[in-house]
Structure 1
């Protein structure tokens, strides 16, 4: 009972603290923090804490493979949201949530039938990740806005934290029952993203969440880095010290990745401008 209370308090606390930091410090820090493994990080931590590091290490390749199911989850969420946006925020939120979760478990079930190793899982995810970038750039037409103009109320922050806590309690509680393979796959479920999407879609319809999904489609590679670091660093440094180092390295990776992405975007924009100028 005590560990469940800890899961709930830690989940809510992290969401509230990070949300406030992201609004009151600066946009760069906000981007770094929202790209870090929040829900996934909590799931992996508590599974390793309760079931042991060796148990979690067996599930990490499946967690990386599960990121492919996460890609299908948010793309399905995005597409179903476009089709249901005229049916009202409540129905649309229910429809997109159902379609997204169903697609996640369907792909996860198919993945569980494969022979998965760490190398194969990384290759599988990288292939899916590249296709994911292509698809999201076709789907995303700039609808919505990239940031909320109003501050989140404490009740909204608490609701997001409660959703994450509920999902994490379910995932970590089921770990001993479903085994390391499914525990790894379930740990990849983006509980922090899902909680944010639910609140934003319910409150603002199509205005906010498409931009969140678009950004996450690029940032999801950080979760692969997180899993790989866990695989090699948990046995060396133990759970707590390893986590401190892992989050630091994930933050550095995300900072580097964003710099590379911005440079590539600038080059693409310059090339596009040059082509338009040549035609003129």
Structure 2
């Protein structure tokens, strides 16, 4: 059905706000934290929620099952971007984008052929998380240095790219099967524009740091997609979304505490 104008405006404002927030965190806090938050259910939540509003909660719930496996495609996009986007500036962004999207398309096409359920979809991405975490183990951490000058052009670029991806995904959901709708919902709606912005303003090194830590944050995305696949058709979009965010936040907090404990243990052992 045709989405009301108010929904389109809300979609625009939410997508823009999330991407700008991630960019500020990378500059003011750290690229490591931004990488973890890139795995928080921000873009996926926006996509699945508006798919549920514009189509039906049942369609969004079925799509979320395939989203669980679709995060593997997102990891492939990050890997392709990291391999191809090693140069600074626009040339690096274009090469990274081309490599990332090609890897995403290949992985998505393969995943769309499978009939996933909640267990097989989750296990597929968990294996991918382990593989990519191991592959990224030697990628060095680099911090993005804050820039003092505010750029309206950067703001307009961030806004347009984030909103454009959200509108494209939710629009395609009207004409593709649930399997592809779910995979599209797993597309890094917030992370990809953030990578482009970070790459253009700070170079390839901080981008590599964000991609390196992205798999660690995917646990919260998995929990979110699993929750909404179970609750959207029974409890509705609003309550299902709130439960999904609560579970995803709890996981992210527990994972962060576990990392702090593990790093402290290793520091004590070395001392």
| Number of matched pairs | 263
**Mind listing any 5+ residue stretches in structure 1 that lack a counterpart?**
275-280
Would you say 1:149 and 2:146 are equivalent positions? yes
Contact 1:39 1:164 in 2 (8 A): no
Would you say 1:40 and 2:44 are equivalent positions? yes
How far, CA to CA, are the matches of 1:193 and 1:68 in structure 2?
Answer: 14
Counterpart for residue 173 of structure 2: 175
Contact 2:11 2:166 in 1 (8 A): yes
Correspondent of 1:73 among 70, 77, 87: 77
User: Which 4+ residue blocks in structure 1 deviate beyond 4 angstroms?
Assistant: 17-24, 30-35
Contact 2:83 2:99 in 1 (8 A): no
Superposed displacement of residue 18, structure 1 = 6.3
Superposed displacement of residue 57, structure 1 = 1.5
**Mind listing any 5+ residue stretches in structure 2 that lack a counterpart?**
none
Q: Cα distance 1:181–1:265, how it changes in 2: closer, same or farther (>3 A)? A: same
How far, CA to CA, are the matches of 2:11 and 2:219 in structure 1?
Answer: 25
Contact 2:92 2:204 in 1 (8 A): no
- TM-score computed with the length of structure 2 as normaliser: 0.87
How far, CA to CA, are the matches of 1:265 and 1:37 in structure 2?
Answer: 25
- The structure where helix makes up a greater share of residues is 1
Superposed displacement of residue 158, structure 1 = 4.2
Counterpart for residue 278 of structure 1: none
How far, CA to CA, are the matches of 2:149 and 2:224 in structure 1?
Answer: 28
- TM-score computed with the length of structure 1 as normaliser: 0.85
Q: Cα distance 1:188–1:219, how it changes in 2: closer, same or farther (>3 A)? A: same
How far, CA to CA, are the matches of 1:21 and 1:116 in structure 2?
Answer: 35
Computing the radius of gyration from Cα coordinates, the structure with the larger value is 1
Superposed displacement of residue 270, structure 1 = 3.9
Cα RMSD between the aligned structures?
Answer: 2.4
Contact 2:219 2:251 in 1 (8 A): no
